[in-house]
Amino acid sequence: MSALTREDTEALIAEVLEVYPEKAKKDRAKHLMVNDKTLESSKKCITSNRKSLPGVMTMRGCAYAGSKGVVWGPIKDIISISHGPIGCGQYARAGRRNYYVGTTGVDAFCEINFTSDFQEKDIVFGGDKKLAKLIAEIEQLFPLNKGISVQSECPIGLIGDDIEAVSKKASAEIGKPVVPVRCEGFRGVSQSLGHHIANDSVRDFILSNRDGQAFEKTPYDVAILGDYNIGGDAWASRILLEEMGLRVIAQWSGDGTLAEMENTPNVKLNLLHCYRSMNYISRHMEEKYGIPWLEYNFFGPTKIKESLRKIASLFDDKIKEGAERVIAKYTPPMEAVIAKYRPRLEGKKVMLYVGGLRPRHVVGAYEDLGMEVVGTGYEFAHNDDYDRTIKEMGETTLIYDDVTGYEFEKFVETMKPDLIGSGIKEKYVFHKMGVPFRQLHSWDYSGPYHGVDGFAVFARDMDMTLNNPCWSKLTPPWLKKEAEPLKQAA
């Protein structure tokens, strides 16, 4: 049961909106809703993927963040150049903890910041020569790279540099793919367009590179799409799939390689974890190579079991048996985790505000632990995400799209959740308000949270945060003293 009724939640939305000027109020009202499971389509009650209002605090990122940070960055043997001024690359460097196996600087490059470090003269005279020189230098210093991608930052688009021509020439010279990615930060309304641009550049420059080459196929080949191996997530997912008899031949893009991506057209099925950032390439592969794709969810025992069975249903009996075997094997350890943590977490309320898939995917894991998600929202989702969310959420859950800093704080003040899951930009605001908080973008330097192994870590982390003794020590002693004698007198 939700803490608030439908009327209360609607009143809360109205109250929060009161502070805006007329026009802004009208616009923001479209982005907030109370969940109604009977709805077929989210279209009529929530608007998403729209430009944020000037003047409000939005938590969105930019197209460069979506392309370099999310899709291209985690590919370990491709060097992604942050082409433009140095800040974008430096502040996006290694922050997402996309784990990989490899020797950094030798055959893996995710954690290094490669940038063309634009100066005034590059803006005035153009940076194409610098880019060509940079690529030659990379080739000399890091000969084991398998390819290079050029991630444009805002000025590249503004001054009109021709990175495509430079990349084409460089690619011919070094004999490796050099991919120009037009992901200037000003494009689109959020990082979502960056995912799309990145997917399109993978499609144009990478995906069909090995078409027609011999590949030893098995009927059980699958690819994991949209798992960025944050804290080892993809590995925790991969072992489940391999144990049920499938062969994972590619990871997109956490701990992924160029060769894996080029071989992906040979798979039987694409398994899609983050729908928002990788549905574009899945749709393309479905059309071009006839590979079906399937969304799955590896957060929490209920969803893991459901997903394993769903995946197995597309294969023969051997895999179906394998799935049952895996479920049987892992049910006792998962139940042990629930038995340990559920009593400590039961009945707690959670509010989420994350990115592309977690606002709906982690709900199952929280419910397995007896917790309830009372509010959820996406930074950059589109309508199709909300269509999927409505079905997952409870009846009167508050749903907010691109929530502003002010709205989020007000919602938390009124709804008083026991835990908030969001990103680094929100973390310290809520810490100062005295609300337990977990970063759900990067798992707060923990992880993995996917799969069976991940669920144990997830439960432990939630317990660690929620039941941390520090939350009772937020009132300073001089304020406490005042309260205590009063109590005694009463």
Partner 1 sequence: MANIMIRQNPAGGLVFYLPKRDLEAAIEAIEFDTPEKWGGELKLENGGSYYIDPIPKPARLPVSVRARRLGAAED
Q: Which residues are catalytic, by number?
A: 62, 65, 96, 195
Contact region with partner 1 (CB under 8 A), list: 65-73, 230-238, 284-292, 366-374: 284-292
Tell me the C-alpha to C-alpha distance, in Å, between residue 216 and each of 213, 287, 304, 305: 10, 22, 29, 30
DSSP-derived 3-state class of residue 372: strand
* 20 is a site residue for partner 1 (CB under 8 A): no
Q: How far is the CB of 186 from partner 1 (least distance, A)?
A: 18
Q: How far is the CB of 27 from partner 1 (least distance, A)?
A: 12
* 384 is a site residue for partner 1 (CB under 8 A): yes
Residues 84, 150: contact at Cβ < 8 Å? no
Query: At which residue do the structure tokens 């990082």 appear?
Result: 191
Q: How far is the CB of 47 from partner 1 (least distance, A)?
A: 7
Binding mask 327-366 for partner 1 (x = CB under 8 A): ----------------------------------------
Q: How far is the CB of 200 from partner 1 (least distance, A)?
A: 9
How far is residue 393's CA from residue 395's CA, in Å, rounded to a whole number? Answer: 7
Give 395-438 as a DSSP string.
Answer: TT-EEEES--HHHHHHHHHHH--SEEEE-HHHHHHHHHHT--EE
Residues between 180 and 219 that touch partner 1 (CB under 8 A): 192, 196
Q: How far is the CB of 211 from partner 1 (least distance, A)?
A: 17
* Spatial CB neighbours of 309, under 8 Å, sequence gap ≥ 6: 323, 327
Question: What is the CA angle 101-107-109, rounded to 5?
Answer: 80
Question: What is the CA angle 378-379-382, rounded to 5?
Answer: 70
* 280 is a site residue for partner 1 (CB under 8 A): yes
* 28 is a site residue for partner 1 (CB under 8 A): no
Smaller CB separation from partner 1, 383 or 414: 383
Smaller CB separation from partner 1, 40 or 482: 40
Smaller CB separation from partner 1, 387 or 409: 387
Smaller CB separation from partner 1, 145 or 192: 192
Smaller CB separation from partner 1, 288 or 481: 288
Enter the DSSP assignment of 350: E
Q: How far is the CB of 469 from partner 1 (least distance, A)?
A: 45
Select from 31, 96, 238, 382 the one that contacts partner 1 (CB under 8 A): 382
Query: At which residue do the structure tokens 């790279």 appear?
Result: 145
Select from 212, 290, 469, 477 the one that contacts partner 1 (CB under 8 A): 290
Q: How many residues bind partner 1, per CB under 8 A? A: 16
* 287 is a site residue for partner 1 (CB under 8 A): yes
Distance of CA 175 to the CA centre of its chain: 33
Q: How far is the CB of 286 from partner 1 (least distance, A)?
A: 6
Contact region with partner 1 (CB under 8 A), list: 210-218, 259-267, 341-349, 376-384: 376-384
Smaller CB separation from partner 1, 66 or 232: 66
Beta-sheet strand order (sheet of 349-352) = 32-34, 398-401, 372-378, 349-352, 419-422, 437-439
For residue 46, the number of C-alpha atoms closer than 13 Å in the C-beta half-sphere is 32
Give 5-59 as a DSSP string.
Answer: -HHHHHHHHHHHHTTS-HHHHHHHHTTEEE--TT-S-GGGT---S-PPPTTS---
Smaller CB separation from partner 1, 208 or 475: 208
At 148, which helix (H) or strand (E)? strand 147-152
Binding mask 32-71 for partner 1 (x = CB under 8 A): --------xx-x---x-x----------------------
Neighbours of 167 (CB within 10 A): 23
Alpha helices in 179-300 (DSSP H): 191-205, 233-243, 258-263, 275-289
Select from 211, 286, 316, 395 the one that contacts partner 1 (CB under 8 A): 286
Burial of 427 (0-12, 13-18, 19+ CB in 10 A): middle
Contact region with partner 1 (CB under 8 A), list: 14-22, 98-106, 143-151, 380-388: 380-388
Residues between 143 and 172 that touch partner 1 (CB under 8 A): none
Q: How far is the CB of 164 from partner 1 (least distance, A)?
A: 21
Tell me the C-alpha to C-alpha distance, in Å, between residue 63 and each of 71, 73, 152, 204, 221: 11, 13, 10, 18, 32
* Spatial CB neighbours of 348, under 8 Å, sequence gap ≥ 6: 370, 371, 372, 418, 419, 466
Smaller CB separation from partner 1, 9 or 42: 42
**Contact positions toward partner 1, by CB under 8 A?**
40-41, 43, 47, 49, 192, 196, 280, 283, 286-287, 290, 382-384, 387
